[in-house]
Amino acid sequence: MIAIELNGRKALITGGDSGLGAATAKSLAQAGADVAITYRYQSAAAEKVAAQAESFGVKAHTFQLDNIASKEDVDALFRQVDEKLGGLDILVNNAGTDGPRALCADSDIEAWRQVVEIDLFGPYYCARKAVQLMRSKQDRGVIINTSSVHEYIPWAGYSAYTSAKAGLSMFSKTLAQEVAPVGIRVIAIAPGAIKTPINANVWQDPKGLADLDDKIPMGRVGEPDEIGHAIAFLCSDLASYITGVTIPVDGGMLLYPDFRQGG
């Protein structure tokens, strides 16, 4: 029997207090990894996720990260993680934002900049520290960067988000090329439409849900655990020869279902 095993591994998930981050923490813990999750405001939610992880017999820790777009805050986080966990095997760069909707000509420059700083600079700061830590401890590790199908699909009104995710994809490939010789794998994962709090106003509305379903060949919105399970697989030795790619987990959204009946 082939099983996903992460026994003894130490994983850090940014934005692990809800949504995809919480599902990822659960999946990694189920596979045997000790987990550390960051939160910004919701300490109670983070503790709840940690308690669920510990129910699988692993250790779980929570860390407040006020600003992932701050090098100083990220540096402080990784010092705490190293002190508490004694190293790091897995980093999941999950924290992010899509920002307010605004067409480019009408957009606020500072709001646009903030999205790029959170969604691209944040993963860069974390990956930079993770590589340093992994290299100093064991010359092995996995970095998962949470991208989006919108690194491929334009999304009117969200040019900062799509630009950041496209940049994150190429950052992942370039970093993978740099660190492959020291045993570190870097992979981007591109979720499609997933039932999380950030888009609940859409999938909880019957018309919004029907519109989403029409955009997905499998005919349904994804569940957070389906992302968590994919990440657990990619972090495991079962995926030991995978690096430097973006893996879509989208129910086929990138297949453009409107073309099923021809062009």
| Structural domain boundaries in the chain | 10-250
Please give the pLDDT value at position 263.
63
Measured CA to CA, the distance from residue 128 to residue 124 in angstroms comes to: 6
In tens, the pLDDT along 161-200 reads 999 999 999 999 999 999 999 999 999 999 999 998 778 7
CATH number belonging to domain 10-250: 3.40.50.720
Six token digits for residue 240: 């030991």
154 has pLDDT over 70 = yes
Radius of gyration in angstroms for the set of CA atoms belonging to the chain, rounded to a whole number: 18
Q: Which residue has the higher pLDDT, 204 or 221?
A: 221
Q: Which of 125, 158, 161, 256 is catalytic?
A: 161
Q: Which of 134-148, 149-163, 181-195, 231-245 has the lowest mean pLDDT?
A: 134-148
Q: d(Cα 48, Cα 235) in Å, to the nearest integer?
A: 23
On average, the pLDDT of the chain sits at 95
Helix, strand, or coil (residue 166): helix
Span of 101-105, 125-129, 199-203 with lowest mean pLDDT: 199-203
Q: Determine whether 41 is an active site residue.
A: no
- Hunting for tokens 């849900």 — which residue is that? 209
In 3D, which of 131, 241, 124, 133 has the Cα closest to residue 172? 124
Q: Indicate whether 9 pLDDT > 90.
A: yes
What's 221's DSSP letter? P
CB 91 within 8 A of CB 130: yes
Is pLDDT above 80 for 228? yes
Angle between helices 109-116 and 159-179 (to 10 degrees): 30
Q: Could you tell me if 60 and 34 are in contact, meaning their C-beta atoms sit under 8 angstroms apart?
A: yes
**Residue whose token pair is 């599902």:** 23
Mean pLDDT value of segment 80-106:
96
Contact 20, 194 (CB under 8 A): yes
pLDDT (0 to 100) of residue 138: 78
Angle of helix 224-235 relative to helix 19-30, nearest 10 degrees?
Answer: 50
Dist CA 242 CA 245 (whole Å): 8
